[in-house]
Amino acid sequence: MLNFVIPFIVLILVVVFIHEYGHYYFAKRYGVGVTDFSIGFGKEIFGWKDKSGTRWKICWIPLGGYVKFFGDRNVFSQSDQEELIKKYSEEDRKKLFTLKPLYQRSLIVAAGPIANFILAIFIFLFIYMFIGKDFTPAMIDEVTKDSPAEVAGLKKNDVIIEIDGTEVKSILDVSKLITMSTSEYIDFKVSRFDQDLLLKVKPKMVLSEDNLGNKINKRIVGIKLSPYNNEINHVKLGPAQALYHSINEVYFVITASLKYLGSMFTGSGDSSQLGGPIRIAKMTGQVAEFGIIPFISMMAYISISLGLINLFPIPLLDGGHLMFYGFEKILGRPLSQKTQEGFFRIGMFLLLSLMFFATFNDLKDLGLF
């Protein structure tokens, strides 16, 4: 159990700290008072107060965190603003988040998710510069008889160039792109005798195991791959190239995640793969056993997911606040307190539903259902 719990706590502490520090950094930059910087929820385990009056603390429930601003309140209306002006002195008003210009409030809120994306970019940058990135072309070594690949016309020695319009830069990309595909047919662009062919493959869904031994529904096309000319091309990149590929990887994960979530809403995606804290903890522990590089790679992917989810236009999330600021910009005033409270109730319902569904999948994964 400790093999899962400790790596999970380390991962969450780092990812959450970076997210909250994004909020904190821009808040301090624009003169907003910060009363609390908390990693975790619930009762404080330990903490300290810095010279500016911010209480830095670690709490018992390590599933998130928060930065609390001076005079902060969840729901904010024009009448609240007038009350705040009367309640605080002129000096204290300068520290109030709610009285800052709209663009400053928006940047402070958006800075958390952006910090998560930057963390992922730095992790990939480190890996590509000091460990290297694989650029081995993917050649089909074997096509399983009567498989979707054979039916579609894929053949031995075909070199895979693209999958669903995304360039295959490495043999490692093939499995990832097949897994992330949500369409009924997967488009394979292959090179055969110096001729490019586009073939449509209809994958089969089979209950299988991933590399960590977890049971998953896997899309199978029926091919085995080998390096082109049996040569592995693993390259340590320079800073500029590494940065380009790091940004590209973050962009790919974001777009693929949005595509996957969209497919779940339309009913074409596999919702059983959506997991919560239990599954993340289990996978984190399993990945950590393979070493530091797989562990920090997973940290990068979790960081991207946290940043992306927080940008969803759901009240209680950063994206919900940005949505309110969008209305404020259009209307020239904040939404009324009653309207915002209505949105918050909807947001709470959506988040609780998502947590329930993800936790149910986790427990099912553990064989408890």
What are the φ/ψ torsions at residue 56 (nearest 5 degrees)?
-95, 125
**C-alpha to C-alpha distance for 97 and 320, rounded to whole angstroms:** 16
Is 20 annotated in the active site?
yes
Judge contact between 22 and 108, C-beta under 8 A: no
Residues 20, 91, 162, 184: which is the catalytic one? Answer: 20
Neighbour count for residue 53 (Cβ, 10 Å): 11
Determine contact, residues 179/219, Cβ cutoff 8 Å: yes
Contact 184, 268 (CB under 8 A): yes
**Closest CA relative to residue 307, chosen from 250, 225, 366:** 250
User: Taking the CB of residue 192, how many other CB atoms lie within 10 A of it?
Assistant: 15
- Which residue in this structure is represented by tokens 């107060």? 49
- CA distances, 165 to each of 45, 79, 154, 181, 290 (Å): 50, 52, 17, 11, 32
Question: Which among 328, 350, 353, 369 has a CA at the least distance from the CA of 80?
Answer: 328
Give the Cα separation of 228 and 192 in Å (integer): 13
Catalytic residues: 20
